[in-house]
Structure 1
Amino acid sequence: MKNPYLKTSIGLYLNYFMLGMINIIIASNMGNLSRLYDVSVSQVSLLVSAIGIGKLVALFFAGRLSDKLGRKPIIIAGGFLYLLFLIGMPITTNYYLAFAFAITAGLANSFLDSGTYPALIEAFPKNASSASVFVKAFVSIGATILPFLISFLAANGIFWGWSFFILSILYAVSAIYLIFMPFPKVDNGGDDKLEEKAELTSEKQLMRGKPSMWREGLVIIVIGFTSTALFVVWQTWLPELGEGFIGLSEKTAVQLLSYFSIGALVSVLLLTVLLDKFIKPITVLVVYPIIAFVAMLALFFVKSHPIVMVCTFLLGLFTAGLFQLALTVMTDFFRKNKGTTTSYVNIAGSAAFILVPIITSSLVDSIGISMTLVFDMVIAVLSVVLALYISYRRKKIFS
């Protein structure tokens, strides 16, 4: 029987296609925004932190609202909130007002995350991992297209702000579309009979222990931070790294974002096919950061243009989808109140959005652009250690 929520998922994935563009729209317009607000490039990079502040604030209540009110109103509200950011950023000339608009984008992002991931898990329970990771595919497609859109606008003398305005139109269309679409019933794991049956048939599992939010949960939350940090560094600094550290022209350096996004897209398409059937999410959380670390090491020591392109592609390939898999692992360990438990991971991701640009901006100002690479290598090592611990605990609890 055809899944009744397929049409709904089109709107959900469209939101994240546009979010992929929003994720790099500040990095791609750093020069334009710097001139518009009359501030330094480093100050413009802090607008990414403002998005993280908005995400962090909203996630303390967005998950609970998602569980209580349902996924639909939260997602639609997030879509309309994005209009403030997308229309306001290229219109205002006041940096502090732009900072406020960026906070609004963070609020919108939190609303989308708190509603969309639980909705997809509930709509496609047999393919929850693939449905969640497929979100990243649309994010990557959007991020791949945006640099070409910006290049087209520049080549034809069209105001760069249209890269914002076009997205505002699409978000309005998506929000209106979703108003008329059905959503799955909120599943907070409240079926006591099923839980009792599961407990009776898994006595051996219970003897091994139950997952603890202060142990397994906390580690997965930290993975939410590291997996986001791995990605945010590149979304924020890749063009500047290409120009300042590797020596590429400004145009070529911006195009590195496309190579990175193509790698991310390939990764997500592979994960969509392989997850649940051939590979477990926790295995990906261990293996991907290891390979990403090797690619960063090569990028640090070899500045050849072809090698840079390959390494950038590999970094997109082996950092994409990690955050979505952290969300899936969290719902695997803690099946009740998915909106709330995933919001904890999203809070960690928001903290990364806030802290990573601030930390890397300080490192760049005091030492140099190369420190963004060093910082991300440290994050990759930490990611591997945390994922190995969760893999060990999972075997202990769910054997």
Structure 2
Amino acid sequence: MEKVNNKKFYPTAVALYFTYFIHGIGASILGQYKQDFAAMWGAKLLEDGTYDVSMVVSVIAALGLGRLISLPFSGPISDKCGRKVSGIIGIICYVLYLGGIVLAPNMMVGYAFAIVGGIANSFLDTCVSPSCMEIFPENGSIANMFTKFSISVAQFILPFGIGFVASSAMSFKTIFIVAAVAIAIDGLLILFLPFPQIGATQDKGAKKEVKKEKMKFTPASIALICIGFTSSSTFMIWLNCNQELGKLYGLADPSKIQSLYALGTVCAILVSSVLIKKGIKEIKILVIYPAISAIMLILIYFIRIPSICLIGGFVIGYSAAGGVLQLCVSTANAMFPKDKGKITSIVMIASSVANYTIISFASYLIKVGGAVNGPTNVVLLNIAVTVVGVLLAIFVNIQNSKMEKERGIA
């Protein structure tokens, strides 16, 4: 009976995954059109004939600020008012963001619309992931991984869309408008599609249990929360600042970096799922993947040739954006089995703080360094943050080994 009932929710799952497909475009498209937005918002023209894109990077950082502002509210709204309500709010905000950002007359208006885009992300997060896990209860982790898969597919296709728009002599605003219309139509479908019911009685009981026991933070759990910051920083810096680096290194078509980045992410999701099924612990991957990212970033800094950007795009997509944040959340959930919701929110807040602060700092480095030193200064920033993430992961592994030994003795 349950399987038959669940089948009626499959179209809902497809519609929800499509919102993440559009989110994949929305989260990275500003980074692909920085020069266009800089020109539209009256940025300073640099000596090499390009525009100072620091103001656009600041606007990209506002996506993290919007997410940070709304995270404390989006979860409770999803739990109390329903997943559909949360999803519709997210979709409305996404339409406003995608449509509004291309009409923004200046950077400040663009900044405001980017905050709305961050709010959209937060509400989609609290709708799509729990809904898909409720639709596929026996394969919840796989269902959740497909949200990342949807994002990666969109980011892989996006450069081809950008190329088509350019070759057809269409405005750079085209993809934004098409994406806004597409998610609006999807929102109308979601409005009428059925959603699984949330077990209200169980949730209330679970909340009472959580209130009885206070969360006790250990040095290892604090380090994990910090990994939420560092892991997000690594891929967010690369995702939004790789185009200028590609141009600096003489890459003819920097948009190809984005496709290889997305391809690396897809490969990582598939490979990681196999590794975990074979018994490799998530906590070990938290060291291995960021270490690969750090080594790749160091090579990118010293080997300044066009092809290194393409190789780096794939490797960083694989090792930084291929589920490290999700594995961090899973490890944190194992540490706090009775407080999964709270610890997930805390890690995601750390991720949002990274999205805002680290991208804002990258914007400052680009402004100070200009077209020549700005991109490489950003790479140095990324190396520093990623190395800190590796050290934190090593510390978590050491603490976890000690805890396992103590349990074995006990």
TM-score (norm 1): 0.87
In the alignment, is residue 182 of structure 1 matched against residue 195 of structure 2? yes
- Counterpart contact for 2:65–2:115, Cα < 8 Å: yes
Q: Which amino acid aligns with 1:48?
A: I
In the alignment, is residue 81 of structure 1 matched against residue 87 of structure 2? no
Matching residue of 2:334 = 332
- Counterpart contact for 2:264–2:317, Cα < 8 Å: yes
The list of structure 1 runs, each at least 4 consecutive aligned residues, that deviate by more than 6 angstroms after superposition, is none
Matching residue of 2:48 = none
Q: Which amino acid aligns with 2:113?
A: F
Q: Which amino acid aligns with 2:324?
A: L
Deviations 1:264-322 (A, max 9, x none): 12112223444344433222222100111111122122123334322221111111211
Change (3 A) 1:174 1:323: farther
Q: Which of the numbers 235, 247, 250 marks the counterpart of 2:250?
A: 247
Change (3 A) 1:61 1:218: farther
Q: Which amino acid aligns with 1:185?
A: I
- Counterpart contact for 2:24–2:151, Cα < 8 Å: yes
Moved more, 215-224 or 97-106: 215-224
Matching residue of 2:67 = 55
Matched-pair identity in %:
30
- Counterpart contact for 2:55–2:107, Cα < 8 Å: no
Change (3 A) 1:341 1:74: farther
Q: Deviation at 1:361?
A: 2.0
Q: Deviation at 1:43?
A: 0.5
Matching residue of 2:30 = 26
Q: Deviation at 1:376?
A: 1.2
Q: Deviation at 1:192?
A: 6.7
Q: Deviation at 1:13?
A: 1.8
d(CA) in 2 for partners of 1:232, 1:171: 23
Matching residue of 1:202 = none
Query: Mapping of 1:290-329 within 5 angstroms?
Result: 290-320=291-321, 321-329=323-331
Deviations 1:369-397 (A, max 9, x none): 21211111122222222223334455527
Number of aligned residues: 383
- Counterpart contact for 1:189–1:336, Cα < 8 Å: no
Change (3 A) 1:60 1:192: closer
For the residue of structure 1 that corresponds to 2:254, the secondary structure is: helix
d(CA) in 2 for partners of 1:89, 1:168: 11
Q: Deviation at 1:351?
A: 0.9
d(CA) in 2 for partners of 1:155, 1:256: 19
Matching residue of 2:392 = 386
Q: Which of the numbers 352, 361, 364 marks the counterpart of 1:362?
A: 364
Deviations 1:4-26 (A, max 9, x none): 44433222221111111111111
- Counterpart contact for 1:190–1:336, Cα < 8 Å: no
Moved more, 46-55 or 33-42: 33-42
In the alignment, is residue 64 of structure 1 matched against residue 66 of structure 2? no
Query: Mapping of 1:182-261 within 5 angstroms?
Result: 182-183=195-196, 185-186=198-199, 190=203, 212-213=216-217, 215-244=219-248, 246-249=249-252, 252-261=253-262
Q: Deviation at 1:134?
A: 2.5
Q: Which structure 1 segments of 5+ residues have no match?
A: 197-209
Superposed CA RMSD in Å reads: 2.8
Q: Higher RCO, 1 or 2 (CA under 8 Å, sep at least 6)? A: 1
Change (3 A) 1:348 1:56: same
Matching residue of 1:285 = 286
